[in-house]
Amino acid sequence: MVTSEQVAQLAGVSRATVSRVLNGSARISDDARERVHKAIKALGYEPNVVAQNLARPRSRMIALGLFHDNEGLAISQLGRTENYFYIDMVRHIDRCVAEIGYDLFMPSLPRSKPESYIRSLQARRAAGIIMLAVDQSDPRIEALIQAKIPTVFVDAMGEGSHATYAQSNHLEGARQVGEHLLALGHRRIAFLIEPLSNPTSTERLLGCQQVLARAGVPFDPGLLCQIEWSTDEAYHATKEFLSRRRDFTAIVAGSDMMAIGILRALHEAGLRVPEDVSLTGFDDVVLSQYTTPPLTTVRQDKEALGKGAVQRLIALIEETGDVSPLIVPSQLVVRESTGPAPVSS
Amino acid sequence: MVTSEQVAQLAGVSRATVSRVLNGSARISDDARERVHKAIKALGYEPNVVAQNLARPRSRMIALGLFHDNEGLAISQLGRTENYFYIDMVRHIDRCVAEIGYDLFMPSLPRSKPESYIRSLQARRAAGIIMLAVDQSDPRIEALIQAKIPTVFVDAMGEGSHATYAQSNHLEGARQVGEHLLALGHRRIAFLIEPLSNPTSTERLLGCQQVLARAGVPFDPGLLCQIEWSTDEAYHATKEFLSRRRDFTAIVAGSDMMAIGILRALHEAGLRVPEDVSLTGFDDVVLSQYTTPPLTTVRQDKEALGKGAVQRLIALIEETGDVSPLIVPSQLVVRESTGPAPVSS
DNA sequence: CTGAAAGCGCTTACAG
DNA sequence: CTGAAAGCGCTTACAG
């Protein structure tokens, strides 16, 4: 591996000077700058980022975490169906982070206590962390805030001197769903959603409830079903649910990936979508247009979320710029899984 | 942050000794070992892995790469529908790597030449790399082999003094598909598969061809359609294909994610699956049991692949153990997207 | 068994 | 503008 020492020798300067031209320091003679650049090119030099991260007061590594079931292995969690939406979003985060010259990494930390999670993060010298959090009560949220590690939470509402958050306007999205179903004549609507320890879930429920309440539609608690949110679990839970109740004309699923499982349970039960029952999702994952029928859902603006989260994290790290919570508008997308409520029932 | 220096002081030993007990060096007095452990616990010490990776002759970081369209941003690539199968596999890789005390990272490297890709990898001090490669002609494959960076290729056939590969037995899986369709009476079978620059694709085609040829079924080149392999592209390509030809009773899709797109195009064209046309996929991604109808496919053993790849990479890095290419058996899973060939046509 | 010293490859005050 | 030196937090021969 070629080092800055070799570049310095070839250019006839010191390592300090090489470092300075690399980091765009101001006071460098044009002559020196040019000689260094020439040497870098000739040698194919690329600075050792591990050494840089150790030497600099602040590293250029951003950690991406995903809290799920108290697991620390972020990459593994990302592969669970319930997190497919985040995969779409992470693509934008990745791109955005690369553009500003930082490295993104997903620390695979063993399951452990919050304090040790923090220490592992520090041991890896993360400059900051983007935390995809699905459970507001996860103790690591508070631990990150206390530790004053620059953090942007996505879908959890952590705030502090070095923390802020970004999320879609789930409430507004849910209201659109409520209005859409209402307009189609639905009155008895079932909610198959994630446990309400997930704030996203709560907002989605609330948005629908608000609209229905204003329209004078009574809320039937028996039609509210909190289920775990993988496609598999949604499928099984729906089968069980259908064995108890069928007196509804529409289902609001907590997410698209849940809707995919619900759809199958509905098919197997001989219920047609949307003729017998309408179904809506949330998120607009790539696959929601490939279900049978294609899914009516609420689109989250993945790009705005991803870029916004990165921008705020940098602002937090560099202590300059906008660090206010980011709320991104979301938008109902009507496809073919919703239709008029059946007249008889 | 607490450093090894502080631990040393509290334990009344030198930093060297702290380092030795941490790394399980043999010759350490029980007394010293115990004092150090006590100090570590008292201080909540966790070694700085960045410093470790710099100081050690060999780091404990494993890079995960994904070559796709000459892009370097691995995490972004992973989120494309065409790579959903790899997401499932990566979960096992992640877990396995964490178990042996290594860190997994997905370098987000800007699009660049092979040489500079190699340099970036070295600049990040990767001990080795697991390369998910989808195009055998990608120049980075050869570059990695030449550079003698320990590498395990998945789905590309790179071999060298420091390189080996792991993949499913796609040929055998494809034979099972061919036999299954043959047994159901299909004779005119369309292949909508990835471009043959992808060796996986070639093997899958070949396996089916072999079986059909042995059965005396002629191969119609007009029924072979090489299309890009995202769900989207498969959908659009299928629409186009259906406008030209419909004289087939079965479609072999190059992958499950392609089959999902194909399924939609078939629905829209008014063709019923499997009554009018049977459809098979490959991979058995999580979602293949949630399509309508659930997909007949070939299951890849993700766990065996992931674990096997990691085991071989470690063998390559430590220069001891089995580094022979790993071929994992795969297995037809019959679900509801295949049925008897329609009698009339 | 253990410590002092050199080294991993950078960056950054400190002088000049 | 530029270099010599110290430092980032570890590990590992080298002695003893």
- Please compute the mean of the pLDDT values over residues A88-113 and round it to a whole number: 86
State whether A1 and B122 contact (CB < 8 Å): yes
Q: Rounded to an integer, what distance in angstroms lies between the CA atom of residue B130 and that of residue B307?
A: 11
Beta carbon of B15 within 7 Å of strand D? yes
Q: What is the pLDDT of residue A145?
A: 94
Determine the distance in angstroms separating the CA of B105 from the nearest CA of chain A, rounded to an integer.
6
Q: What is the pLDDT of residue B218?
A: 93
State whether A76 and B94 contact (CB < 8 Å): yes
- Residue B344's pLDDT band, with cuts at 50, 70 and 90, is low
| Domain spanning A4-47: CATH superfamily | lambda repressor-like DNA-binding domains (1.10.260.40)
DSSP letter string, B4-18: HHHHHHHHTS-HHHH
Is 80 exceeded by the pLDDT of residue A41? Answer: yes
Q: What is the pLDDT of residue A286?
A: 94
Sign of CA dihedral B73, B76, B82, B87: positive
Q: Alpha helix locations (H) across chain B?
A: 4-11, 15-22, 30-43, 49-55, 74-78, 84-99, 114-123, 139-147, 170-183, 199-214, 231-244, 256-268, 302-318
Determine the distance in angstroms separating the CA of A240 from the nearest CA of chain B, rounded to an integer.
17
Is 90 exceeded by the pLDDT of residue B237? Answer: yes
Beta carbon of B9 within 7 Å of strand D? no
- In the three-class reduction of DSSP (H, G, I as helix; E, B as strand; rest coil), residue B144 is classed as helix
Q: Which residue is nearest to nucleotide D2 (CA to C1')?
A: A17
- Length, in residues, of chain A: 345
Tell the CATH topology of B61-168+302-327.
Answer: Rossmann fold (3.40.50)
**Å separating the CA of residue A124 from the C1' of nucleotide C13:** 25
- Please compute the mean of the pLDDT values over residues A136-146 and round it to a whole number: 90
**Mean of per-residue pLDDT scores for chain B:** 93
Q: Rounded to an integer, what distance in angstroms lies between the CA atom of residue B251 and that of residue B265?
A: 12
Q: What is the pLDDT of residue B26?
A: 66
Name the residue among A75, A79, A292 with its Cβ closest to that of B104: A75
- Please compute the mean of the pLDDT values over residues A256-269 and round it to a whole number: 98
Is 60 exceeded by the pLDDT of residue A345? Answer: no
Q: Is A107 exposed, middle or buried (0-12, 13-18, 19+ CB in 10 A)?
A: buried
Which nucleotides of strand D lie under 7 Å from a protein CB? 1-5, 7-13
Q: What is the pLDDT of residue B116?
A: 84
| Domain spanning A61-168+302-328: CATH superfamily | Response regulator (3.40.50.2300)
Taking contacts as CB-CB distances below 8 angstroms, the residues of chain A near B303 are none
Q: What is the pLDDT of residue A233?
A: 96
Lookup: nucleotide whose C1' is closest to A52 CA: C10
For strand D, list residues 43-62 of chain A whose Cβ lies within 7 Å of it. Answer: 51, 54-55
CATH 3.30.1330.10 fits A170-300, yes or no: no
Where does chain A hold its CATH 3.40.50.2300 domain(s)? 61-168+302-328, 170-300
pLDDT in tens, A179-215: 999 999 999 999 999 999 889 999 999 999 999 999 9
- Please compute the mean of the pLDDT values over residues B313-330 and round it to a whole number: 95
- Residue A113's pLDDT band, with cuts at 50, 70 and 90, is confident
Judged by average pLDDT, the poorest of A21-30, B12-21, B271-280, B287-296 is: A21-30
Beta carbon of B92 within 7 Å of strand D? no
**Å separating the CA of residue A34 from the C1' of nucleotide D3:** 18
Beta carbon of B52 within 7 Å of strand D? yes
Structure tokens at A118: 């923090």
State whether A106 and B105 contact (CB < 8 Å): yes
- Residue B225's pLDDT band, with cuts at 50, 70 and 90, is very high
- Please compute the mean of the pLDDT values over residues B266-291 and round it to a whole number: 97
Are the beta carbons of B190 and B245 closer than 8 angstroms?
yes
Structure tokens at A46: 């690329």
Structure tokens at A332: 């109902």
pLDDT in tens, B108-156: 777 778 888 888 888 888 999 999 987 888 888 999 999 999 999 999 9
Is 90 exceeded by the pLDDT of residue A344? Answer: no
